[in-house]
Amino acid sequence: MLKVNNLKVKYGVIEAVRGIDFEVKAGEIVTIIGANGAGKTSTLSAIFNLVKKEGTVRFVEGDISKLSTDKIVKHGMALVPEGRRIFINLTVEENLKIGAYTNEENYENLKEEMFRLFPRLKQKRNNYGGSLSGGEQQMLAIARALMSEPKMLVLDEPSLGLAPIIVKDLFGILVDLNKNDDVTILLVEQNAAAALKIADRAYVMENGSLVMEDDAKALLASDEIKKKYLGG
Ligand code: ATP
């Protein structure tokens, strides 16, 4: 579904992404794990054309390397950005409405669908984004992205700053979305343990390069990964 070839991102002399190749097949949950500064966010920003890049990105057979971000969203890929970036001065419903900008005719149906997936958001539909807890804000960021009815959902560090029990709930919702609603998922995470538990396949990013690729279960059992990313 997504195929990335020789992707490079440079900020002046800093090479944040050094010619990486990876793919996500339809129906998979794929994770890219790596430490702070490894180049994960830059990779996602490059896929969505939010930063200057070199290389090619193909999505569902088409070359999207040169498309603007809103066209990429219209092609069926949605980003849940690092730090959630919800609108704190707008209500839950207003945040969802913004997420439906490519899809306004379906707004009411999609909103009800989101309230089914995230009952907490239904309870808080008229509350301001800024008044929600961290976990609720992350749910809102995911629901907002889903309002474009993506084939593929791309998430940048959704677990950041959340308590382990909330991460477990949230990742459970991602698994449900993948299984029940056929949403393919690319998940970028520093929380390797949580990400590897729900992923089918995984890549490990270090210093702008992908240094390992395997089934998520195999990486979870690997001594090297345990030592480096799972706290021994
Ligand atoms: P994080 O978990 O902090 O998001 P990351 O793995 O996503 O880390 P990136 O944010 O992609 O990593 O950063 C990769 C490298 O590029 C880092 O060395 C970072 O300091 C640098 N970098 C990122 N954004 C910029 C920018 N706008 N200008 C200059 N350097 C940047």
Q: Whose CA is nearest to atom 30 of ligand 1?
A: 11
| Burial state string for 220-232 with b = 16 or more CB within 10 A and e = fewer than 16 | bebeebeebbbee
205 CA from centroid of ligand 1 (Å): 12
Q: Is 13 close to ligand 1, i.e. is its CB under 6 Å away? A: no
Q: Is 41 close to ligand 1, i.e. is its CB under 6 Å away? A: yes
8: part of which helix (H) or strand (E)? Answer: strand 2-11
Closest ligand 1 atom, residue 82 Cα: 4
2-76+150-229 CATH: 3.40.50.300
Closest ligand 1 atom, residue 51 Cα: 27
Looking at residues 73-81, what average pLDDT do you find? 94
Q: Whose CA is nearest to atom 31 of ligand 1?
A: 11
| Burial state string for 52-71 with b = 16 or more CB within 10 A and e = fewer than 16 | ebebebebeeeebbebeeee
**Is residue 192 predicted with pLDDT exceeding 70?**
yes
The residue among 42, 75, 58, 49 whose CA lies nearest residue 157 is 42
Closest ligand 1 atom, residue 42 Cα: 11
**Is residue 102 predicted with pLDDT exceeding 80?**
no
Q: Is 209 close to ligand 1, i.e. is its CB under 6 Å away? A: no
Phi first, then psi: give them for residue 9, nearest 5 degrees.
Answer: -130, 130
**Is residue 69 predicted with pLDDT exceeding 80?**
yes
CB atoms under 10 Å from CB of 14, counted, come to: 10
- 84 falls in which pLDDT band (50, 70, 90)? confident
| Summary mean pLDDT of the chain | 94
> Ligand 1 test: best mutation among 11, 80, 156, 229, most atoms within 8 Å of CB?
11
125 CA from centroid of ligand 1 (Å): 34
Alpha helices, DSSP H, located in the chain: 40-47, 69-74, 92-99, 107-117, 119-123, 134-146, 164-180, 192-198, 216-221, 223-229
Q: Is 34 close to ligand 1, i.e. is its CB under 6 Å away? A: yes
The residue among 50, 24, 12 whose CA lies nearest residue 210 is 24
**Is residue 54 predicted with pLDDT exceeding 70?**
yes
Q: Is 42 close to ligand 1, i.e. is its CB under 6 Å away? A: yes
38 CA from centroid of ligand 1 (Å): 7
Query: What are 2's strand-pairing partners?
Result: 24, 59
Do the bridges between strand 14-24 and strand 2-11 make them parallel or antiparallel, or are there none, so unpaired? antiparallel
| Segments of the chain assigned to CATH 3.40.50.300 | 2-76+150-229
Question: Cα angle vertex 14, ends 9, 16, to 5°?
Answer: 40
- 232 falls in which pLDDT band (50, 70, 90)? low
CB atoms under 10 Å from CB of 198, counted, come to: 18
d(CA 51, CA 218): 33
Q: Is 81 close to ligand 1, i.e. is its CB under 6 Å away? A: no
The pTM for the full model equals 0.94
Would you give the DSSP letter of residue 128?
A: B
Q: Is 190 close to ligand 1, i.e. is its CB under 6 Å away? A: yes
